[in-house]
Chain A
């Protein structure tokens, strides 16, 4: 019998993690155009955003539809702290994440008493308020025009595009590592317990309300980090960051990549960022085709790309199992693959 205590949870995550790092670090050498590098940056940024959302919705089962608000808040805070308060980048970055966390606590405490679609509606309203403020509080936010983000200078050196890309990859790796740590420890288990049956989780000593708030704040801060990354890459903040397209992208990534899986957010982000590039040749039909593809995806791959890779892996190891007599090994091989 296989002793599970020898099965390091870290290993389940290490291989895809290394694969991500290798690919991401090799990208600047392979891609020549700035546009392509920007696309890969966008993949990373959406992956960050979606990893937070994945922890909140995929693992803890709390559906929030206002994270585009945090995406925008942190970006505006980051811009304003530099433009109006004259803070250096290294102060503005953490401070804007703290602001994001504080806002998340303030709205999380009352809203997390709600569940399911009530929570979704309430957080959606929060998102609408943020985009309303961003559009109308013109003196501060610059209205629909938004604000320009100063380029990052550390000391008197300006960070160039490739360095910026590496910074974003580093941030993505950090968030991915954090997500994997949470998911492979008792923290992730308690989140999944809340998702599956919060009353039973409470009976086992999980402080459901506090745990929900923690993961909400964490996902908001991660969304904020993604927002700052987005603003820096696009060199501006605009109210569109707090609007529906961001939410829709996030939800699409969750569905396409696979909810509650470790690498779903990255896989989903690749599809959501790259696919429209290939669809532009269809002109006016682009949105229609994109929507149709998503629909087919939902019908035939309810567990997303992660689920598909997992079942492919299972089929493959099932074939191997028929050839090799001991049957326990392949089962574990599947568990170590992509996914939970």
Chain B
């Protein structure tokens, strides 16, 4: 809560994604307790909360990694509560992972090219029959992937293996890969985790640029400072429940949020 930035003007656009009454139980533990919020078209929404607040679980429910115990999720006016992981991505949900998950046996360029997968010919036999289209798609994807790498500043490393890149650059590859599918919404799980201050600031600028360009973003963060200048709206979770929602200024001054973060004992571990 160090950074006091002016809140961004709220966006008035139709809903793109929403979770309604989302509940997730793991055995007896209620990790997400009746959480509802929505993300509008073109909006950047932050999902924050102290450790163990249920941010990542909520994120997993939205991306389809975990199924809901109760509640519903909508994306582009469709109920996607039961839609499997790979279908959600084809519908236009792209994500990055809290711990970078890239394909270690592939080059940087190939990793980004995987982001195009849902747009390409599916299946061995159809691909064989349409081999011309496959070859043309391959060239187009390589070109587009190269542009994305240029955007994140990694074009020079296109042919390197992922393992040879430092963590901060791997994060950028992951974002480039997510952008490849031209997603309707970009979901980021603690993108600044493990980055140094300079990298974090660069990432913040890049996300702002993407959002200004019309990309809808939902970002899970532990560090409030990082998303204050970026997000139009912030949803705060604590103990699995939503305790506040609003623009940066209102959330920062909300006594419930301050208590959740600082606790009555005042012990806030990180940052």
- Asked whether A201 is an interface residue with its Cβ less than 8 Å from the other chain, the reply is yes
Chain B, residues 61-76, CB within 8 Å of chain A (1/0): the string is: 0010100000000000
Flag if A205 contacts B86 (CB, 8 Å). yes
B1: Cβ under 8 A from any A Cβ = no
B93's closest neighbor in chain A, by CB? A203
Check A190 for interface membership: any CB of B closer than 8 A: yes
Give Cα A211–Cα B30 distance, bound, in whole angstroms.
Answer: 35
The 8 A CB mask of A174-199 against B (1 = contact, 0 = none) is 00001001101111011011011101
Bound-state CA distance A1–B158 (Å) is 11
Q: Across the interface, which residues of B come within 8 angstroms of A204, CB to CB? A: 86, 89, 94, 114-115, 117-118, 177, 181
A5 in contact with B116 (CB, 8 Å) = no
B109 at the interface (CB under 8 A from A): yes
A4-B146 contact, Cβ under 8 Å, with A199-B65, A202-B86 = yes
| Any B CB within 8 A of the CB of A335 | yes
| Among candidates A184, A192, A195, A214, residue contacting B123 with C-beta atoms closer than 8 Å | A214
Contact (Cβ within 8 A) B124 A214: yes
B127 near A187 (CB under 8 angstroms)? yes
B106 within 8 A of A: yes
In the bound complex, residues from chain B placing their C-beta under 8 Å from that of A214 are 123-124
Interface size class on chain B is 35 or more
Asked if B113 contacts A196 (CB within 8 A), the reply is: no
Is the pair A182, B101 in contact by a Cβ cutoff of 8 Å? no
**B106–A207 CB distance below 8 A:** no
Cα of A182 to Cα of B114 in the assembled complex, Å = 14
Whether, in the assembled complex, A3 has its beta carbon less than 8 Å from a beta carbon of chain B, the answer is yes
Give me 10 other A-B pairs in contact (C-beta within 8 A), A193-B114, A202-B86, A204-B177 excluded.
A3-B146, A4-B109, A4-B143, A8-B139, A186-B127, A186-B134, A190-B117, A203-B86, A203-B89, A203-B95
* CB<8 Å pairs between A and B, sample of 26: A4-B145, A5-B139, A7-B142, A181-B127, A185-B134, A185-B135, A185-B138, A186-B141, A187-B124, A189-B106, A192-B110, A193-B106, A193-B114, A196-B105, A199-B101, A200-B97, A200-B101, A201-B114, A203-B63, A203-B86, A203-B89, A204-B114, A204-B181, A205-B117, A214-B124, A218-B124
Please list the residues of chain B having a beta carbon within 8 angstroms of any beta carbon in chain A: 63, 65, 84-87, 89-90, 94-95, 97, 101-106, 109-110, 113-118, 120-124, 127-128, 131, 134-135, 137-143, 145-146, 155-156, 158-159, 177, 181
